[in-house]
Amino acid sequence: MKIPRPLPLKSLHKRVWLSFSSLVKLLYFKPAYFFLAAGVSILFYEFIFWFLNLGLMQYLLTSPFLTVGDKIQMLIGSYSGIFTLPLSPLALTLFAVSVFQGVAVAALVYSIRKERAMQRGFLKEFGGTGIAGALSVLGLGCAACGTSLVTPILTFFFATSSVAVAEEVGLYSAVLALIVSLITVYLTGLKLAPRLKVQSS
Amino acid sequence: MVAVAWLFFTYGGSKQQPLSESEQQVLAVQDKRLTKGDESAPVKIVEYADILCPYCAKANEEIIPQIQSNYIDKNQAHYEVRLVAMISPDSQRAGEGAYCAAEQNKFWDYLDTAYKDTWDNYYSQNKTPQDVDLFTERNIFSFASRVGLDTLLWQQCMDSGKYEKTITANQEKMSEIKAYGTPHFIINGNNYNGAPPFSSFKAVIDAELNKSKASE
């Protein structure tokens, strides 16, 4: 089924509002999708946060020498760096991207369940979540210190002097991730509008 | 998503194995002057650091003091720093300066002052290592004097270049253990890249302490 375009392209602000209202309606009136969004968001954030130390994370989560409480505390602790001063633009961006990813996936799951079949249109949004994830991973870590994926990529293709620009590349990729995830959330919200019977004001 | 998570925890990642001979060598104390805590403590923490690395400064300001009060001071962990020079041309000079300070038993004064200055005046204000001018050829002498070193002896040590090879050897060891950058922590053989929050450190150290208790 082709999703009808609810409003002409010119009225972008109305479409953004329509998308936003649809998403709020979905998450507020269908708590299961709210919890799905929260779960995906947490998984996404933890995956990106631990990306450079996945082996260690696996060891800790499966270790018989830590209680379940210790493991949960460890995962919650990874959020502690976001809002401590000085605020890190990279950490805040990563947090925002993970929230948008959670909302987008919950909206997609709702749409797919309602349509009962995967459509080409949905694949675009799934692609969007993948691109945002990859860009977030690139922005992770301290590029100047070498604990970032950007640094080895740049030095492999260019020269060691390119490390000087790695910090900027990392930040730009995080901003790009934010833009891609915002567009993904916007599109998924827009697709929900007819299904949830949300009208443009 | 559940399937991916199951696959990851069943087959993925790098499973932790008993320490190999080379890993044991990495954990063996290299320079006592650059250590804190009881050498016989059950948990050994080794940190590869660059004095000009922003995240090393962040770790020293926010995480290491908590590790010190919770584990090192209670003889549960032993901590050793090994300096490398990867960030900027001044890193080498700053690192050699720290080793020369160790000859006067002032390694920790030098390191703590360096990290505090770089964190407070540069990195906490989102400045980069290129902005730091504390360790330029012109300024490092006044930094050493501020730390309270005998600057004549310290300068002689610097001129001899005797610690150049130590820093190079540390970097070679980092490549051997496939460490990407600084800070790089090794906690009883578990590698940790970057400067994680204290809760992550706590989980690793507690797991190692519980493991050690279980094997007694």
Closest Cα of chain A to B84: distance in Å? 11
Q: Which residues of A touch B50 (CB under 8 A)?
A: 145
For A68, name the nearest residue in chain B, comparing CA atoms only.
B203
- The CA distance from A9 to A19, in Å, is 13
- pLDDT for the residue numbered A126: 61
Distance from CA of A13 to the nearest CA of B (A): 34
Q: Are B76 and B41 in contact (CB under 8 A)?
A: yes
Predicted confidence at residue A129, as pLDDT, reads 63
Q: How far apart are CA B177 and CA B175, in angstroms?
A: 5
Q: Residues of B132-151 as b/e, b for ≥16 C-beta within 10 angstroms?
A: bebbeeeebeebbeebebee
Q: Is B68 helix (H, G, I), strand (E, B) or coil?
A: helix
Tell me if B66 is assigned to some domain: yes
Q: For chain B, say whether A57 makes contact (Cβ under 8 Å).
A: yes
Interface A:B, Cβ pairs < 8 A? 123
Q: What total of structural domains would you count in chain B?
A: 1
Q: How far A187 CA sits from the closest chain B CA (Å)?
A: 22
Buried/exposed B37-55: b ≥16 CB within 10 Å, e otherwise: beeebbbbbbbbbbbbbbb
Say if the Cβ atoms of A146 and B202 lie within 8 Å. Answer: no
Return per-residue pLDDT of chain A as tens, 201 residues.
Answer: 455 555 565 677 888 888 888 888 888 988 999 999 999 888 888 887 887 788 888 888 888 888 999 888 888 888 876 766 566 677 777 788 888 888 888 888 888 777 755 555 555 666 666 666 666 665 555 555 555 555 555 555 444 444 455 566 666 767 777 777 788 878 877 777 777 777 665
Domain membership flag for residue B173? yes
B216 domain residue, yes or no:
no
Nearest-Cα residue of chain B relative to residue A146: B181
pLDDT at B49: 93
Distance CA A65, CA B214 (A): 9
For residue B194, the domain's CATH number is 3.40.30.10
| Chain A residues with CB-CB distance to B89 below 8 A | none
Sheet containing B184-187, strands listed edge to edge, beginning at the edge strand earlier in sequence: B35-36, B77-83, B43-49, B184-187, B190-193
Whether residue A141 and residue B203 make contact (CB cut-off 8 A), yes or no, is no
Tell me, what's the pLDDT at A44? 84
Give every CB contact of residue A155 below 8 A, 6+ residues apart in sequence: A162, A163
All residues of chain B having their beta carbon less than 8 Å from the beta carbon of residue A82 are none
Cross-chain residue pair B197–A63, CB shorter than 8 Å = no
In a domain, B104, yes or no: yes
Tell me if B163 sits within 8 A of B27, measured CB to CB.
Answer: no
Which residues constitute the domain of residue B201?
Answer: 2-6+18-209
Check if A130 contacts B (Cβ < 8 Å).
no
Q: Do A58 and B124 touch (CB under 8 A)?
A: no
In a domain, B126, yes or no: yes
Residue B13 inside a domain? The answer is no
Which among B55, B198, B211 has the least Cβ separation from residue A145? B55
Complex ipTM: 0.74
Q: What is the pLDDT of residue B68?
A: 95
Domain membership of residue B11 (yes or no) is no
Any CB–CB contact under 8 A between A148 and chain B?
Answer: yes
- Asked if B12 lies within 8 A of A74 by C-beta distance, the reply is no
Q: Are the C-beta atoms of residues B27 and B188 closer than 8 Å to each other?
A: yes
Nearest-CA distance from B205 to chain A in Å? 10
- Is B97 domain-assigned? yes
Q: Which chain B residues touch A73 with a CB distance below 8 Å?
A: 199, 202-203
Residue A127: predicted pLDDT: 63
pLDDT, tens only, B174-195 = 888 877 788 889 998 888 888 7
Q: What are the chain B neighbours of A61 within 8 Å (beta carbons)? A: 9
Give me the residues of chain B with pLDDT under 50, please.
13-15
Strands B43-49, B35-36: pairing kind: unpaired
- pLDDT reported for residue A151: 58
